[in-house]
Amino acid sequence: MRRAWFALLTVLGSLVLIGGAVTGVSSLRQPQPAAAQETTPPQRVISVSGEGRVSLMPDTAIVTLGAEVFDPDAAAAQREVERRMDAILAVFRQAGIPESKIKTVVYAITVERDWQQPSAPVTGYRVSHLVEVQVQPVQQVGELLGRAVQSGANAVTGVSFSVANPAAALRQARELAVRDAREKAAQLAQLTGVGLGAPVRIVESVTTPPIPVPVARTGPEAAAVPVGETTVVVTVSIDYAIQ
Q: What is the pLDDT of residues 122-158, one digit of tens each?
A: 999 999 999 999 999 998 999 999 999 999 999 999 8
Position 223 confidence tier, pLDDT thresholds 50, 70, 90? low
Q: What is the CB neighbour count within 10 angstroms for residue 189?
A: 17
Q: What is the pLDDT of residues 40-87, one digit of tens each?
A: 778 899 999 999 999 998 999 999 999 999 999 999 999 999 999 999
- Please, which residues bridge with residue 142 across strands? none
Position 37 confidence tier, pLDDT thresholds 50, 70, 90? low
Query: Which amino acid, residue 49?
Result: S
Residue 16 makes CB contacts below 8 A (sequence gap 6+) with: none
b/e code 71-104 from CB counts within 10 Å (16+ = b): beeeeebbebbeebbebbbebbeeeebeeeeeee
pTM: 0.64
Q: Residues 92-114: what's their mean pLDDT?
A: 96
SS3 state at 218: coil
User: What are the structural domains, with CATH classification, of the chain?
Assistant: 58-163 (3.30.70.2970)
